[in-house]
Structure 1
């Protein structure tokens, strides 16, 4: 760790985040740090290995469950970086590694969803939190947030980042049938009839789009893992279309 050029990393991260609309002055650096912590400690780790392949199918750890869990973990990370308490990151670690806590948006626990990989999940999370605490102790509050956010650079429009809101608003236009270019491109480029996809949508998509929009912007796990699985497996949230 001592050989790493933290000063250069801080400068680079500040410039990259500023280009994305993330600054201390904008008041959203803590959000970006929470995204980075979620990626670093949870999302891009042993839980993703458990999610992939046969183990994930056996444990019913499908994309909707991951969508719900990742966005919930983000909120726990945000609480930690906003906290003035000395050991907030340890409380974050304890909460996300609680084996009996029912994951919001699901009916299962870490014990169930992570079965067969619980040791690896715990080791990965603890090692990453230890490193974050080292950074928190060594650097100023702003520098720590920048270094934490560095871990989420691949997620410019993930939940918690500025580009998320326009992405969700675009999805709502698609669900309301207002994005004719999107519908036509699905037909011509992919031979997909979006009306057929909509037939498989969860009831809330048909009954309460304002609530869908609110949840996708603020707390996706409140929609439930099964509804989120539908969003994970179609193109309505795809930013490239």
Structure 2
């Protein structure tokens, strides 16, 4: 197997990013890079294995905790790739691996949530950061950001931090405000889900302060707290395809 063709990847990824409304000219390339770094360094690593199955239940690492953590990690990644400090990625690494830091939006730490996989998480994170730093040294900043963004495009291109996320949130707000009867009917007829029953299970903030829900989902979902986010995780309300 030949060496990975970074130049071809830069060209291809740049074209695809532009089709999504992402470019240096648009001012959101760093955001896409932060999404990709979150996927590469954190989201698609041993923490996901720790989240799945009995270990995740035992460690209380539920979907809401993952939602909160992933969106918080994105902000740390964005800070790292927009920093003028030469070793910002190492600071990012230290932040991710801090075992005593209470994860924003939760009451737990890496020690609690990652119990049983802490060694694997550390090894994966350090290896990923070393790779990113090698890319950062080798390529001009804009090309490095494109390569960093590549990993985000392997998942959903409408994750938090990508342009399409805003549309998902606005659609969800219309649904929660009762302004999308087509969605309600489709849930009922095609998915056998009663919207009223679904809404009755929503966290209190959904019923009391939708503007705050919208603000947080657009800017920093972890500020809603993991328990509230657990309702939104995998919820058809936030599904772009419904």
TM-score range, shorter chain: over 0.9
Give me the whole-angstrom Cα distance separating, in 1, the residues matched to 2:52 and 2:69.
Answer: 15
Per the TM alignment, residue 4 of structure 1 is displaced from its structure 2 partner at its CA by 1.4
In structure 2, the gaps of 5 or more residues are none
Question: Deviation at 1:156?
Answer: 1.2
**TM score, norm. by length of structure 2:** 0.98
TM-score (norm 1): 0.99
* Distance (Å, rounded) in 2 between the aligned partners of 1:39 and 1:79: 16
User: For 1:192 and 1:78, how far apart are their aligned partners in 2?
Assistant: 37
Aligned residues of 1:197 and 1:234 also touching (Cα < 8 A) = no
Deviation at 1:239, TM superposition (A): 1.0
- Pairing 1:110-149 to 2, within 5 Å after superposition: 110-149=110-149
Alignment of 1:15-94 (within 5 A): 15-94=15-94
Structure 1 equivalent of residue 162 of structure 2: 161
Deviations 1:38-88 (A, max 9, x none): 000000000000000000000000000000000000000000000010000
SS of residue paired to 1:135: helix
The 1:134/1:209 distance shift into structure 2, 3 A limit, reads: same
Which residue pairs with 1:107 in the alignment?
A: 107
The answer to which of 230-239 and 105-114 deviates more is 230-239
- Secondary structure at the counterpart of residue 236 of structure 1: helix
Could you list the per-position Cα deviations for residues 138-163 of structure 1 after superposition, in whole angstroms to 9, with x for gaps in the alignment?
00000100000001002311000000
- Separation in 2, partners of 1:169, 1:205: 14
Distance 2:216 2:156 in 1: 19
- Aligned counterparts of 1:179 and 1:123: Cα–Cα separation in 2: 46
1:32 deviation in Å?
0.1
Q: 1:11 aligns to what?
A: 11
Q: Alpha-carbon deviation of 1:131?
A: 0.0
Instruction: Determine the C-alpha separation between the residues in 1 that align with 2:95 and 2:131.
Output: 18
Please state if 1:172 is matched with 2:173. Answer: yes
CA distance in 1, matches of 2:156, 2:22: 13
Counterpart CA distance in 2 for 1:190 and 1:103 is 35
Please list the CA deviations of residues 69-115 of structure 1 after superposition, one character each: whole Å capped at 9, or x if unmatched: 00000000000000010000000000011000000000000000000
Farther off after superposition, 229-238 or 29-38: 229-238
SS at match of 2:148: helix
4+ runs of 1 displaced by more than 6 Å? none
Distance in 2, Cα, partners of 1:94 & 1:234: 33
Q: CA deviation at 1:2?
A: 8.2
